[in-house]
């Protein structure tokens, strides 16, 4: 009983603190009021978050009548005065609430924390998407890459930063401090974005290997016993082999594309001999797509799958005989890239090239492909047996991809991708119809 009363009291205090903050007209008490909201919010139990965000959704919406009137005035007279008035009344009061909250001593961290909590509720409470829209709108401005600082992370970086790398590596898990030490040796680079209000919190980081040639297999890059390439003259290729977001509360806030471009420019300045910038990327979801029948998905024009490509896809699916079967069961039975026939290998490579080269702009497109090609990269190579880990076999039958960042072409490639065109190499094109 006492616990229920305490929880109810905490929620009431959080609501009242929010009301006071949004009703404050001056800025003299804004800092202390913002601190009150943060302190009371952090006392809420996890199951009370939905009530807090529902309060923000219901009580801090724009006034529909005011918006309608301002819109009608602007339609009748598109003057600067009417435009400004329309903007004022159409903006959600929640945005001003979060702006004021950002004044708190730990306001930026608190706002990011709130969005992290909110994202966990959206599946069951879709109406709260309005609150998320306001938060994402503000965070996209506050975490604009123009405000972020890019720093190299090395073995001399603070321990709390290094621990974050181990904790948040999302592509190729870091197996303790020895593994991390190898990834920070002279022939490796790690760069991260930091925000001035969160100086010890890497927001997103990218890991790079400096190599004599393009890597097509991931194992040597993440082997903590791998030999170090000592001579700088051997650095001809920069391979981006992992990029990880550290803060779930910033999901959907674009930072990674800017980070990769900045890193490429810095590496080119530091090592003029490096002329080639590529990724070595996974293909999450590829085998799910194959077992589901290899459809291009919504949003992809049907004409892209020309008769010869359709025939190649259908022949590959027939050969693999995977439709409707469990890929995990096939793996459990001993499937391995080293044991397949040349025909099965060609079929999988053909399907991967169609999947990435034709379907990467659709709404159900591969997220990694969409990220890199939307960032101006070119689909360069599809590599057989690139990732033989359990995860790599499960999600892509061991296939990996090199996306090429040609610094002179990224803008043009970005525009072409935005217009629905995927830029891929001749090598990828040849795989489509084996």
**Which residue of the set 281, 353, 360, 396 is catalytic?**
281
Close Cβ partners of 429 (under 8 Å, ≥ 6 residues apart): 353, 357
Whether 281 is catalytic is yes
Close Cβ partners of 58 (under 8 Å, ≥ 6 residues apart): none
Strand ranges (DSSP E) for 293-410? 378-383, 400-404
- The β-bridge relationship of strands 400-404 and 378-383 is antiparallel
For the beta sheet containing 400-404, the strands, ordered from the edge strand earlier in sequence to the opposite edge, are: 149-152, 188-194, 204-211, 237-245, 276-279, 400-404, 378-383
Cα-based distances in Å from 48 to 21, 118, 136, 293: 20, 11, 21, 43
Tokens 């509360």 correspond to 249
Q: How far apart are CA 325 and CA 14, in angstroms?
A: 51
**Which residue of the set 350, 372, 380, 396 is catalytic?**
372
Upper half-sphere CA count for residue 336 (Cβ side, 13 Å): 7
Whether 372 is catalytic is yes
Cα-based distances in Å from 341 to 334, 338, 345, 347: 14, 9, 6, 10
Q: How far apart are CA 387 and CA 33, in angstroms?
A: 52
Q: How far apart are CA 159 and CA 174, in angstroms?
A: 15
> What SS3 class is residue 192?
strand
Nearest to 330 by CA among 393, 383, 283: 393
Catalytic residues: 281, 372
């Amino acid at each position: 009983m006492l616990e229920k009363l305490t929880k109810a009291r905490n929620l009431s205090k959080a609501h009242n603190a929010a009301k006071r903050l949004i009703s404050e007209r001056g800025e003299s008490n804004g800092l202390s009021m913002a601190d009150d909201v943060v302190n009371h919010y952090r006392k809420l139990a996890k199951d009370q978050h939905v009530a807090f965000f529902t309060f923000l959704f219901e009580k801090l919406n724009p006034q529909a009548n005011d918006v309608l009137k301002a819109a009608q005035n602007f339609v009748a007279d598109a003057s600067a005065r009417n435009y400004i008035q329309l903007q004022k009344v159409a903006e959600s009061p929640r945005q001003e609430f979060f702006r004021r909250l950002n004044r708190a001593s730990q306001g930026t961290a608190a706002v990011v924390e709130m969005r992290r909590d909110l994202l966990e509720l959206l599946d069951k409470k879709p109406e709260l998407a309005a609150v998320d829209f306001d938060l994402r709108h503000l965070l996209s401005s506050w975490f604009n890459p123009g405000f972020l600082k890019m720093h190299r992370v090395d073995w001399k970086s603070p321990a709390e930063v290094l621990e974050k790398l181990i904790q948040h590596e999302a592509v190729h898990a870091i197996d303790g401090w020895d593994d991390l030490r190898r990834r920070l040796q002279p022939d490796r680079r790690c760069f991260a974005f930091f925000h001035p209000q969160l100086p010890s919190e890497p927001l997103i980081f990218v890991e790079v290997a400096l190599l004599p040639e393009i890597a097509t297999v991931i194992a040597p890059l993440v082997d903590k016993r791998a030999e170090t390439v000592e001579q700088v003259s051997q650095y001809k290729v920069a391979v981006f082999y992992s990029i990880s977001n550290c803060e779930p509360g910033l999901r959907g806030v674009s930072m990674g594309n800017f980070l990769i471009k900045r890193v490429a420019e810095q590496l080119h300045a530091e090592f003029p001999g490096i002329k080639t910038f590529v990724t070595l990327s996974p293909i999450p979801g590829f085998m799910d797509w194959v077992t589901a029948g290899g459809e291009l998905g919504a949003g992809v024009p049907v004409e892209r799958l020309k008769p010869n490509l359709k025939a190649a896809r259908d022949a590959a699916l027939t050969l693999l005989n995977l439709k409707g079967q469990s890929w995990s069961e096939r793996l459990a039975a001993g499937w391995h890239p080293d044991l397949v026939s040349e025909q099965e290998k060609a079929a999988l490579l053909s399907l991967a090239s169609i999947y990435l080269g034709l379907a990467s702009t659709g709404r159900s497109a591969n997220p990694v492909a969409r990220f890199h090609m939307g960032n101006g990269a070119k689909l360069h190579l599809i590599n057989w047996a690139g990732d033989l880990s359990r995860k790599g076999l499960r999600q892509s039958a061991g296939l990996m991809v090199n996306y090429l960042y040609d610094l002179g072409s990224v803008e043009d490639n970005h525009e072409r991708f935005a217009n629905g065109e995927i830029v891929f190499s001749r090598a990828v094109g040849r795989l489509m119809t084996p």
